[in-house]
Amino acid sequence: MGFLFYSAPHAQDRPQDEALVVGAKKFTESVILGEMAVQLIRRSGVAAKYQRELGGTRLLWKALLTGEIDLYPEYSGTLIHEIFAGLPIADLAQLDVVLANAGVHMTQQLGFNNTYILGMRKTHAADLGINKISDLIAHPELRLGFSNEFMQRGDGWPGLRGRYRLPHKNVRGLDHDLAYRGLASGALDVIDLYSTDAEIDYYRLRPLEDDLGHFPAYYAVYLYRAELAAHHPDIVAKLKQLEGRIDNAAMRGMNARVKIERQPEAAVAAAFLQEALALDAQIKPDTTFTRFIRNSREHLALVLLSLSAAILVAIPLGILSAKRQGAGRLILAITGVLQTIPSLALFVFMIPLLGIGAPPAIAALFLYSLLPIVRNTYSGLHDIPAAIRESAIAIGLPAGARLLKVELPLATRSILAGIKTSAVINVGTATLGALIGAGGYGQPILTGIRLDDMGLILEGAIPAAVLALLVQGMFDLIERFILPRSLRYC
Amino acid sequence: MLRLKNVTRHFAGRPAVRDFTQEINAASTTVLLGPSGCGKSTILRLIIGLLEADSGEIYFQDSLISQANVADLRPRIGYVIQDGGLFPHLSAKSNVSLMARHLNWDTDRINARLEGLSRLVHLPLDLLDRFPSELSGGQRQRVSLMRALMLDPDLLLLDEPLAALDPMIRYELQQDLKGIFKEMHKTVVLVTHDIAEAAYLGDDILLMRAGRLVQRGSMQALLEAPAEPFVEQFIRAQRDPAKAIAKAPAKGMGESL
C-alpha cells in the first residue's frame, strides 16, 4: 500500500484561484465523462484544465493523490480489484471509507455498469428466446468466440462456465475486433463485450443479462480530492447531479456518437448535459487550427526547453570526457545507458519525481538528448590531430584559451551534428509526452489511435515530422553561419 | 642559452634520448642531424615541454625548465613542425596573431609586427587573409614561421620544417631561412635528416644516433675527422645525381630522384 504514503512535494499547495484540473484515461468513455466534468466546472465560473488521455489508472490515481489533478472518472471495479486489491471491500460504502482515508471522495455511481457481458445478434437472440446468460444452457450448439483476455481471466470464461454450468464445447479465443466481425457475419453466435461498447448498437447486438451476478460491477464514479469539496462545494453538487443519470444505453449512445459518428467529445458531453440536466453548455468547438496552434505551442515548449538544457549540460560533459579519461568513460557509460531505456519507460520513471504534465516529459527528453551531444563533443575534441593540439600548446596558449580558441571551434561540426541528432530524436520522442499529460503533437496521435482516425493521427504525425526537418534545417543554417569556410566541407 | 644535462627519455620502455648532455650556443644555428628515430625531435619536444624527461635537466637562459614554468617560457620560444600545425579554422593572419591577441596586444602593434614578419619571410601580406587549406605547402611553412616569430622569441625550434616540401620549394626556402637566421641573430635549433640542409644552414652540427651524440662540430670537421665509421656512413649515404645516372644508364630519370 506504499502509494498511500506517496507524495510529490510540489503539488500540494496549489493556490485556490488556479484552474481546476480534470483527468481522464485514454479511452473514449473516460474522455467523455471527463469532458462533462470540465463543462460543469466552467459553468460554475471556475477555470478548468483538461488532462485527457493520460496513460493509465495508476498514473491518474497518483496524480489525484498528489493534487496534480482534482478529479477524474473511475470505475468501482477498478478501485476494488486494482487500486485497492488485497483490501476486503465488499461494497461501495466500504470503498467510500477506504477512499476517505486517502483524502479522496467519490460520487454515487453515475448509472451505468461497464463490465464484461455476453452478446448475441438481436435477431438471433429473439429467434431462440435468449435474454440472459442462463438461457444459454439450453443451447449447447451455439458457437462462442471470446477475446483472448477473457479466455484467460479467472472471472472470464473459466469462472463463467463454472458458475452457470455452461455446456458449450465450441469455444474459441480470438481478437476482440475480429469477434465483432465474426458475430456480424454469422461465424460466431455469442461473444464477450463491454456493456457500454459503441459497437453494441452498431452491430445490433443483444446484451445478455448476467442473472447470477457473476461479473464484478464496474460502476462509473467521479473521484475528487477532499479539498475540492471544501473549496468548491457548488462544483461537487453539480457533479452529484449526474449520479444515476447516465444509464448503459445513454453511455453506449454517447460512445457511439464519438467513435462511430465521429462527433467531438465536447459536443457529445454538452448535448447530454443539456438533455439530462437542462444545462445549455456553451462549448467552443475546437477547430483544427486552434488545436494545431495549441499542440504546436506545447510541443515546441517540450523540445526547446529539454534540448537547450541538454545542450548546456552535454557540451561541458563532453569536454570533461575528452579531458579526463576516467570521468569520460563513466559519463559516456551513463548517458549510453540512459539512451537504452525505452523512451516510454523513461517518461513513466519521471512521474514519481515530477508528477504529470510537461515537467516530467521535459526531464525525460532532456536525459534522452544527452548522449548524442556528449558523444559528438567528446569525439570532436578527441579527433583533433595531435599536431594541431600540440601547436596550440607550443605557442603558449593556456588550457582555457586553447579550448575556446582552437579545440571547440575545430569540434564545432561534430558538436552541431550531435545536436542535430538529438533534436530530431527529441522532436519525435516528445510525441509520447501526451501519455503523461504534456500535450503536444502526441495528443492528436493518441486520439487518432483511440478513434481509429487516420486524419487525426496525421494531424500529429505530419507536423512532428515537419518540425524535425525544420529543427535540422535551423542547425544547418547555424552551422553555415558559425563555421569558417575552411571547415565547411572537410 | 640552452643547456641539457643528463637528459633521458624512454618511449614504451625503449630509450629515445639517453643521458644527453650538451650546450647550445646563443645567436647561432645548431642542427640536430641523424637518421629517423635517433631522438632529435624528442629533444625539441622536451625543450618546449610537450614531453617530460624521465631524468636529467634542461636549462633555458639559466632557468630550469619544469612543468610548472614551461607555460611561462613558451612565449619566449618559437616552434615550427614539419606540416606547420596551423589551425585550419583560422586565417593565416589569425594563426600568426592568435597568441598576441591573447596577450592583448593592440591592433597597431599586431599589424606592424605582421608587416615586418611578412617582409622577413617573403610572404605577400594579402596571402595572410587566406585559410591554411588555401595556401601551398611552402606558403604554409612561411606562415608557421611567422607564427613562431610573432612574439619575438629568444629561441627558435624547427622540427624538420622543410621535410614535406618538394625539392624546388625546399631549395628556395632553405635560402630564405639562411637569410632570415642571419638577419635575426637568434638562437636556432633545427632538426633535419637532410645532410645538405644541415651543411647549408648549420653553424654547429650535432650528429645523433640511437638517442646519443655521435659527433659535434662543423660539417667540415665531420667530413675530415669522423669520430666513428657511422659518421662517414651517414654523410655519404646520399646519392650524387651525376653519379646515379652514370651507374644506372638504363633506368629513367625518376629513379634517381
ipTM: 0.89
Q: Per-residue pLDDT averaged across A426-447, rounded?
A: 91
Task: Tell me the residues of B at the A interface, defined by beta carbons under 8 Å apart.
Answer: 48-50, 71, 74-75, 77, 79, 81, 83-91, 98-99, 102, 131-134, 147-148, 151
Q: Whole-prediction pTM value?
A: 0.76
Task: Render pLDDT for A111-168 as a digit per residue (tens, 0 to 9).
Answer: 999 988 899 999 999 999 999 999 999 999 999 999 887 888 777 898 899 999 999 9
Q: Do B85 and A388 touch (CB under 8 A)?
A: yes
Q: Please give the Cα distance from B84 to A454 (Å, whole number).
A: 61
Contacts of A380 in chain B (CB under 8 A): none
Task: Give the gap in angstroms from C-alpha A397 to the nearest C-alpha of chain B.
Answer: 7
Residue B97, pLDDT score: 96
Phi, psi (rounded to 5 degrees) for B56: 95, 175
- In this structure, of A96-105, A337-346, B114-123, B136-145, the range with the lowest mean pLDDT score is A337-346
A with B: how many residue pairs have Cβ under 8 Å apart?
68
Cell 657511422: give the residue: B230
Q: Which three cell numbers stand for residue A364?
A: 525525460
Q: Do B88 and A395 touch (CB under 8 A)?
A: no
Interface-testing mutation among A383, A395, A416, with chain B (most B C-beta atoms within 10 A): A395
Residue B31, pLDDT score: 95
Q: Which residue of B has its CA nearest to A389?
A: B85
Task: Name the band, by pLDDT with cuts 50, 70 and 90, for residue A85.
Answer: confident
Residue A282, pLDDT score: 64
Task: Give the gap in angstroms from C-alpha A327 to the nearest C-alpha of chain B.
Answer: 23
| Contact (CB, 8 A) for B164 and A387 | no
Q: Per-residue pLDDT averaged across A213-228, rounded?
A: 92
Q: Give per-10-residue mean pLDDT for chain B (257 aa).
A: 93 91 92 92 94 94 89 93 90 96 95 95 94 94 95 94 90 93 91 92 94 92 90 83 64 45
Taking CA B34 as the corner, what is the angle to CA B33 and CA B39, rounded to the nearest 5 degrees? 100
Q: Please give the Cα distance from A198 to A286 (Å, whole number).
A: 23
Quick one: three-class SS letters along chain A? CHHHHCCCCCCCCCCCCCCEEEEEECCHHHHHHHHHHHHHHHHCCCCEEEEEEECCHHHHHHHHHHCCCCEEEEEHHHHHHHHCCCCCCCCHHHHHHHHHHCCEEECCCCCCECCEEEEEEHHHHHHHCCCEHHHHHHCCCCCEEEEHHHHHCCCCHHHHHHHHCCCCCCEEEECHHHHHHHHHHCCCCEEEEECCCCHHHHCCEEEEECCCCCCCCCEEEEEEEHHHHHHCHHHHHHHHCCCCCCCHHHHHHHHHHHHCCCCCHHHHHHHHHHHHHCCCCCCCCCCHHHHHHHHHHHHHHHHHHHHHHHHHHHHHHHHHHHHCHHHHHHHHHHHHHHHHCCHHHHHHHHHHHHCCCHHHHHHHHHHHHHHHHHHHHHHHHHCCCHHHHHHHHHCCCCHHHHHHHHHHHHHHHHHHHHHHHHHHHHHHHHHHHHHHCCCCCHHHHHHHHHHCCHHHHHHHHHHHHHHHHHHHHHHHHHHHHHCCHHHHCC
Q: Please give the Cα distance from A59 to A362 (Å, whole number).
A: 17
Q: Which residues contact B125 (CB under 8 A, 6 or more apart)?
A: B114, B115, B118
Considering only CB atoms, A406 lies closest to which of B71, B87, B131, namely B87
**Residue A281 reports pLDDT greater than 90:** no
Residue A481, pLDDT score: 86
Task: Give the gap in angstroms from C-alpha B62 to the nearest C-alpha of chain A.
Answer: 20
Q: Do A487 and B81 touch (CB under 8 A)?
A: no
| Contact (CB, 8 A) for B123 and B158 | no
Q: Do A397 and B81 touch (CB under 8 A)?
A: no
Q: Please give the Cα distance from A192 to B191 (Å, whole number).
A: 90
Contacts of B102 in chain A (CB under 8 A): 397, 401, 405
Contacts of A489 in chain B (CB under 8 A): none
Q: Please give the Cα distance from B35 to B38 (Å, whole number).
A: 6
Task: Give the gap in angstroms from C-alpha B149 to the nearest C-alpha of chain A.
Answer: 10
Q: Do A490 and B133 touch (CB under 8 A)?
A: yes
Q: Which residues contact B149 (CB under 8 A, 6 or more apart)?
A: B78, B117, B120, B121, B156, B184
**Residue A14 reports pLDDT greater than 90:** no
Mean pLDDT of chain A: 88
Task: Name the band, by pLDDT with cuts 50, 70 and 90, for residue A384.
Answer: very high
Task: Give the gap in angstroms from C-alpha A390 to the nearest C-alpha of chain B.
Answer: 7
**Residue A9 reports pLDDT greater than 70:** no
Q: Per-residue pLDDT averaged across A232-249, rounded?
A: 92
Contacts of A397 in chain B (CB under 8 A): 98-99, 102
Q: Which residue of A has its CA nearest to B69?
A: A396
Q: Which three cell numbers stand for residue B251?
A: 633506368
Task: Give the gap in angstroms from C-alpha A399 to the nearest C-alpha of chain B.
Answer: 10
Contacts of B140 in chain A (CB under 8 A): none
**Residue A273 reports pLDDT greater than 50:** yes
Contacts of B133 in chain A (CB under 8 A): 486, 490
